[in-house]
Amino acid sequence: MNNRQKISLGILLIFSLLNIVKWGTHFYQNPYQPIDFRTYYLSSKSFFNLQNPYNDSVQSELWHQTAAEKQGHWKHNTGFPHAVAVYAPQFVWFFGLYNLFDFNTGKWVQWILNLLALVLIVFCIKQLQPQLKLILIVTGILAFRGTWYAMDTGQPLIQVLAICLWSIYLIEKQKKDILAAVLLAFVSYKFTLLIPVVFYLLVNRHFRLFSIYFFFVLILNTSALIFAYAPFELIHSWRENISRLWLYTHSFQTSNGLNIISTSLSVTLKYFFDLPLTIIQIMNTSLLLGAYAFSLYIGFRQSARAALLLACLTGLCFGHHLVYDLLALICFILVAKDEKLIHHFSFYLLAIFMLIPIGSVADFSHLPFLNFLLPIIVLMYGITLVKYYLTRRNNPI
């Protein structure tokens, strides 16, 4: 291990320890109030009560009917903008399993499963890249502030990401394609995170596996609509929630609790420039589709893991993602390990934004624009990777 690697590992270790102390104290001293878990727990419960899972009023009504309200005042109310359901309809089957428990039991079951999912993530990365030191994988994940934020909010990202990496492990190391396809389909309610894995399958020409995966995704979503009380109303509400959330995060010179943690370049663009939203939508959609097509091209030219990484970056830059979704980027960087990927200025700049609490820095310095620099840095790193893969000889990972 050279001096640069030792310094990098030392920094990761320091931030990991700081996060353990900070968040350990937080979890010990404060009531656990996982807002994201609560949103989908209540939404799936409303579905099984023959109500609209995307309706804010229904979610609020169910919340006041639960025993959870006796546990003290929550930091956030139910519904838009911070507790709005936007996942694909099939989410009701995944979160319906948590409905087997009362809310307070369910939230701790989910917390434990998230913790176990982090262990599974580390295991899969180590299996997929045996030459990586275990301490590097562990500290790389624990040093990232978004990992802890996701744990605190009860974000299903951690479990979904663990399933994605486990499926890749099953495909490459165990040759259990059908199991991998079923697992991936089950967590495809968070479909934006699954797109890189779908690209990985296509580049590797796992067309049979992809067909099985796609079939189960159709079954899960179609069955959710079939059993819904009012399927057309459900679809309308789902699309409306996505639109409302998109509009909320795209505000000119106005910051809120969501746009300051967004990784989307269009959010930053709208904050600094008062462009018509239609133009931003067209521009963003064009860049998204173009970059996805380019990710496939690089994948076929280089490797499936390159496509995995570039597709992840594409979604972060031009899709709707929040800061904790960068955990997927960290994992895919480790899976697609290449020394040259981390020896560039843009990578270290991105690492700084991942490690330090930029929001606190922005508030302390009275420079709110700092909150909106992350998407630009993610884009810079994406451009760096594009340049690297375009000039690199074919060398599948």
pLDDT digits (tens, 9 = 90+) for 26-63: 888 888 999 999 999 999 999 999 999 999 999 999 99
Domain check: are 48 and 158 in the same one?
yes
- Looking at every residue in the chain, the average pLDDT score rounds to 91
- Whether 238 is covered by a domain: the verdict is no
Residue range of the domain that includes 117: 8-229
Residue 221 reports pLDDT greater than 60:
yes
Instruction: Identify the three-state secondary structure at position 203.
Output: helix
**Claim to verify: residue 293 and residue 144 sit in the same structural domain:** no
| Together in a domain, 46 and 161 | yes
pLDDT value at 396 more than 50:
no
For residue 214, what pLDDT is reported?
96
What is the structure's pLDDT at 391? 83
Residues 207 and 275 in one domain: no
pTM equals 0.93
Neighbour count for residue 345 (Cβ, 10 Å):
10
Task: Please state, in angstroms and rounded to a whole number, the distance separating the CA atoms of residues 270 and 397.
Answer: 38
Query: Is 90 a member of any domain?
Result: yes
Q: Count structural domains, the chain.
A: 2
Nearest alpha-carbon partner for 326 in 292, 362, 354: 354
Query: Is 57 part of any domain?
Result: yes
Q: Is residue 190 located within the same domain as residue 284?
A: no
pLDDT tens by residue, 298-320: 999 988 999 999 999 999 999 98
Same domain, 28 and 173: yes
Exposure string for 228-254, b = 16+ CB within 10 A, e = fewer: beeeeebeebbeebbeebbebbbeeee
The residue ranking higher by pLDDT, 66 or 163, is 163
Query: Quick check: is 247 in a domain?
Result: no
Partners of 396 in beta bridges:
none
pLDDT value, residue 336: 86
Same domain, 180 and 319: no
Q: Are residues 197 and 276 in the same domain?
A: no
User: Which amino acid makes up residue 30?
Assistant: N
pLDDT at residue 5 above 70?
A: yes
Of 229, 264, 285, which residue sits at a domain end?
A: 229
Q: Out of 229, 264, 297, pick the residue that ends a domain.
A: 229
Does the pLDDT value for residue 293 go beyond 60?
yes
Q: How far apart are CA 267 and CA 271, in angstroms?
A: 6
* Crossing angle (nearest 10°) for helices 231-249 and 207-226: 110
Half-sphere exposure of 233 (CA within 13 A, CB side): 11
Q: What is the DSSP letter of 393?
A: P
Asked whether residue 18 is assigned to any structural domain, the reply reads: yes
For residues 374 and 257, state if they share a domain.
yes
Q: Does some domain include residue 132? A: yes
Q: Which tokens is 174 given?
A: 């165990």
Asked, for residue 239, whether it belongs to a domain, the answer is no
Give me the pLDDT at residue 345, please. 74
Residue 243 is assigned to a structural domain of this protein: no
Give yes or no: residues 339 and 258 share one domain.
yes
Distance (Å, whole) CA 201 – CA 221: 21
If asked whether residues 286 and 140 sit together in one domain, one would say no
Last residue of a domain, one of 161, 196, 229: 229
N-to-C CA span, the chain: 22
The per-residue pLDDT for range 249-277, each reduced to its tens digit, is 999 999 898 999 999 999 999 999 999 99
H helix runs in 55-171, sequence order: 56-65, 91-96, 103-128, 134-142, 145-153, 157-169
Does 173 share its domain with 256? no
SS3 call for 271: helix
| 314 vs 325: CA distance, rounded Å | 12
